[in-house]
Structures are given as C-alpha cells and as structure tokens.
Amino acid sequence: MKKSPTTRSIVIAVDGTAASGKGTLAKKLAAHFHFAHLDSGALYRLTALAVLDAKGDPKDPADALKGAQSIDLSLAGDPAIRTDVVGQAASQVAAIGAVRQALLDFQRSFLASPPGGSPGAVMDGRDIGTVICPEATAKLYIDARPELRAHRRWLELKGMGIARDEAGLLAELNARDAADKSRPISPLKQAPDAALLDTSDLGIDAAFAAALALVSTKIEGALKDRHRG
Ligand code: C5P
C-alpha cells in the first residue's frame, strides 16, 4: 500500500462538534508537546469570508471554490471569521467536494512537515482522524451537551462585543452539527480508533488533563521511537 505523506510526523487529530472545546484543547496539547497547531475550521471560515466579501453564494460550488482558492491565511486570527454568520457559511462551503479537495493539500503538507521543524502537529476539525490523517498517532473526538456548547459560544461572542440570544445560538449550533454530520462528503463522525472526551462537566484544566491522559502514552511512545531513530 502507498504510504501516506504524513506517516513520518507525530500527529494528534482532534475532531468534534461545534464549540465543544476542541480548539482550546488542540492548542493546549500543541503547547504541551511543542507541536505545531492548525485549526482547520479557520480554512473553511476564511473560504466563507472570501465568498461573502465577494457577494457570492456559499452554497454555489463555483463561488465557493473561488473562495477556497483565494483565501488569505494571514487573516486566520481575524475576529471577523469567528462570527456565527461566517460559521454557517463555512459549513455550507465545507459540504462542497471541490472546496475540500482544494484545502486538502495544505492540511496534509502541514502534517507532513510541521512548521518550525516541530516533530509533530495537532490539527482540529471535523475530518482530521477520518479523512485528512487516518493514520494519526492519536485521535480524540470532543463533544459536549448542546446547551453547554451554546452557552460557551454565547460567552465567547459576548467577549467579542457581539450580543446574541442563547436560544438562537443553540438552534444554529444544532443545525450546523446536523449539516456537518449528514453531508455525504467527509461528514463529522467519530473515527473508530478515536477516544471520546465529553467536556460537558469539565472546566478547561480538567478537560485538558483528560485529553492529555487519553493521548500521552501514544505520543510519548512515538517521541521515544523518534529519538531512538
Ligand atoms: O470548527 P469551526 O466551527 O471553526 O468550523 C467551521 C465549519 O467548517 C464547520 O461547521 C464545518 O462545516 C467546517 N469544517 C469542516 N472540516 C473541518 C473543519 C471545519 O468541514 N476539518
């Protein structure tokens, strides 16, 4: 069988539902192991922003592909991509096969050669452990009760100065998860070898401790193997 391009680096794949805490956990895991981190959702959000800025339709394959081909990675930290309007549009462009294909190489190259010469990478998203890197060293699937996720999103948006009602956010979040789980291409699902972590009743520190406990044996083992050469 042909070897996948990511087999030489150590990879932690973190998938899960919207606002489940996967991004925070992925960042913390990356910092802990001194690995590179990529939030793959930002690629879909940047695509959506490019489409919306161009007054295109995120559901239109031609508009969406043009958006994916014109993303500006320097905007990945821009709060403009974090709004729920962009989140909904991201979910729409993400259902289009040509968009996913256009973003695939970037993600696989990141994993194959993590920036900064790091021995490994942590990537969070919806299809990292199932499609982007099925051979990942360790996989997590993060989830939490929808009401709690909506509350976290409400707090996050409030911090950004965006006032939203929680019931509306909950409805949007449920609709986005349903769309992400039911799309025919790269649907959100737990990989058979991913460890499930429900963060509903956990604060950030406890959730991180749990995530670390679930991946550390595999990651420490892979790091030791690398040092042995
Ligand atoms: O994780 P985040 O909420 O930023 O993702 C925005 C949208 O991008 C998701 O709802 C999903 O439709 C899409 N996405 C995806 N595959 C990924 C990451 C995100 O389809 N690997």
Out of 17, 59, 91, give the residue to mutate to test ligand 1, the one with the largest number of ligand atoms within 8 Å of its CB: 91
| Measured CA angle at 136 (ends 133, 141), to 5 deg | 90
C-beta separation of 96 from 64 below 8 A: yes
Domain extent listing, the chain: 10-216
Q: Which two tokens stand for residue 201?
A: 């009743």
Out of 22, 44, 101, give the residue to mutate to test ligand 1, the one with the largest number of ligand atoms within 8 Å of its CB: 44
Q: Which two tokens stand for residue 112?
A: 């194959």
As a whole number of angstroms, the distance between CA 27 and CA 77 comes to: 14
Q: What confidence score (pLDDT) does residue 143 get?
A: 98
Ligand 1: distance of its center to the CA of 86 in Å? 11
As a whole number of angstroms, the distance between CA 21 and CA 146 comes to: 12
C-beta separation of 74 from 118 below 8 A: no
DSSP symbol at 161: T
Summarize pLDDT for 160-199 with one digit per residue, the tens.
888 889 999 999 999 999 999 999 999 999 999 999 999 9
| All residues at 6 or more sequence positions from 95 whose CB lies less than 8 Å from its CB, including other chains | 179, 183, 185
Ligand 1: distance of its center to the CA of 67 in Å? 15
DSSP H or E stretch at residue 91: helix 84-94
Q: What confidence score (pLDDT) does residue 98 get?
A: 97
pLDDT band (50, 70, 90) for residue 60: very high
Ligand 1: distance of its center to the CA of 28 in Å? 19
C-beta separation of 115 from 199 below 8 A: no
Q: What confidence score (pLDDT) does residue 49 get?
A: 96
Domain 10-216 sits in CATH at 3.40.50.300
pTM for this structure? 0.94
Q: Determine the 3-state secondary structure of 34 from DSSP.
A: coil
Summarize pLDDT for 1-16 with one digit per residue, the tens.
444 444 579 999 999 9
As a whole number of angstroms, the distance between CA 45 and CA 23 comes to: 14
C-beta separation of 93 from 47 below 8 A: yes
